[in-house]
Amino acid sequence: MAQDWLWMSAGALGRAIAAGEIDPVALTETYLAAIDAHALRDRIYARVTPDRARAEARAAADRAVLGQRRGPLDGVPISWKDLYDTAGVATEAGSKLLQGRVPERDARVLRNATGAGLVCLGKTHMTELAFSGLGLNPSTATPPCVNDPEAVSGGSSSGAAVSVAMGLAACGIGSDTGGSVRIPSVWNDLVGLKTSAGRLPTEGVVPLCARFDTVGPLCRTVEDAALMLAALEGSKAPDLEGATMRGTRLMVLESLAMDSLRDQPRAGFQSAVERLQAAGALVERCEVEGVAEAMDLAGMLFTAEAYGTWKDVIEASPEKMYSEVLARFRAGAGHSASDFVKGWQRLDQIRADWAAATAGFDAVILPTTPIMPPNIARLESDGEYFIAENLLALRNTRIGNLMGVAALTLPTGLASTGITLLVPPMQEERLLRLGAGAERALA
């Protein structure tokens, strides 16, 4: 039945299109109808693009009939976080500061995806200017967590995650500066890939911190993440056949990443580690010197660049911003240029030390986030709670951004909990094979 298509993986949909079992036009109409009928439509999608979606679906259907499909995802409908430029359609990055901003051309990764035949369903809601890990946005809309309608869905790619988790897109494209792909992925039981900085182009992507900003998919399976990576950069997806955990050497990052875990994230992570071990992985527990120092630098490095990027726009109309996000940006105002440069020089050294300390392992593993999705109403009414929960939500994911690595989060099987694998930068193909092996073990 057509409704079943809404819950299939992107890879499975692509194979069904190739086999002539699913018509891309019918598939797109099924998604558009589901979006329009959904009670939370306007809290998930900022804008739906039905005309574009139908035109792209018709073209995909014609290619399928002629045997000229452009790739394994040709004809598959996906969503885009509202910081990816879309020609002729507003791109406002979840902020009233950018209300009415209409780009003239698509972001480069969107052009690549369109070239691979993917269908653009529309733009999803997000944290304001992407500067929070919770997904709360009183300025526009707050998508709810799929597992708890009273809780946030994680940010900043909040709507991207919920569009997939609620069957309103086959995959969502988000961005990750400090955890914005991985947090909403874990809280909505999805797979999320944080690519290495520079792996995918950010041309036409509304920036937050250019040195940390990355593009990444939120999806149902590791295969989908691999297929989407290939589509976004115009490459060939890595072969995941036969991937296994047997003989892999994994390092649990002790100390900071394991501190202050709430009960469910701890239980989900421990259960996942046990299953990886049962599948043949060798697991050691180690600390890496310099991680805590890098976290101390994070406040300066993120806020100074974010405020430097947005200062003029923000201070022209600060009343248009949600107060907690405004405060996060303004925290960057007090840092000197010399301290910023010195901080980056020190972080580069810490990254080199991390690479040396972890070189003997296939991946570093840690709980994706130490907390469960917080309650929306309490976050809106209690500023101190917002600050504390936001910092905790981002703590573990920021390790991956600070160390400059590639990261993949997988659901553990316990709702809204996840395990993350970290590998050196630009090794996404190896990461995805490890992830495919881990996915099988965790299943």
Residue with tokens 């649990």: 252
How far apart CA 33 and CA 139 sit, in angstroms, is: 27
pLDDT tens sequence across 70-89: 999 999 999 999 999 999 99
- The pLDDT assigned to 424 comes to 98
Structure token digits, residue 405: 């690595």
Q: What is the CA radius of gyration of the chain?
A: 20
- The pLDDT assigned to 25 comes to 98
Contact 120, 86 (CB under 8 A): yes
The CA dihedral of 123, 167, 187, 127, to the nearest 10 degrees, is: 10
On average, the pLDDT of the chain sits at 98
Average pLDDT score over residue span 235-247: 97
- The pLDDT assigned to 119 comes to 99
How far apart CA 367 and CA 272 sit, in angstroms, is: 10
How far apart CA 390 and CA 337 sit, in angstroms, is: 26
- Per DSSP, the residues of 183-205 read HHHHHTT-EEEEPPTTTS--TTB
How far apart CA 210 and CA 181 sit, in angstroms, is: 16
How far apart CA 358 and CA 352 sit, in angstroms, is: 10
Contact 136, 152 (CB under 8 A): yes
Domains of the chain by start residue, with CATH: 9-233 (3.90.1300.10), 249-292+333-442 (3.90.1300.10)
Average pLDDT score over residue span 334-341: 97
- Which residue intervals of 40-135 are DSSP H helices? 41-44, 50-66, 108-115
Sheet of 406-411, strands arranged across: 45-48, 119-124, 77-81, 172-176, 214-219, 191-194, 406-411, 418-423, 363-367, 249-253, 282-286
Contact 189, 148 (CB under 8 A): no
Say if residue 222's pLDDT is above 80: yes
pLDDT tens sequence across 127-139: 999 999 999 999 9
Structure token digits, residue 165: 């988790």
Instruction: Please give the DSSP secondary-structure letter assigned to residue 266.
Output: H
pTM over 0.85: yes
Average pLDDT score over residue span 314-335: 98
Average pLDDT score over residue span 59-65: 98
Name, in order, each residue with C-beta under 8 angstroms of 420's C-beta and a sequence gap of 6 or more: 182, 365, 366, 367, 368, 396, 397, 400, 407, 408, 409, 410
C-alpha distances (whole Å) from 125 to each of 15, 88, 130, 150, 347 are 29, 18, 10, 17, 32
Supply the residues annotated as catalytic.
Answer: 81, 156, 180
- The pLDDT assigned to 255 comes to 87
Outline where DSSP puts E strands in 228-270.
Answer: 249-253
Q: What share of the chain is helix, strand, coil (3-state, %, to 5)?
A: 50, 15, 35
How far apart CA 43 and CA 55 sit, in angstroms, is: 25
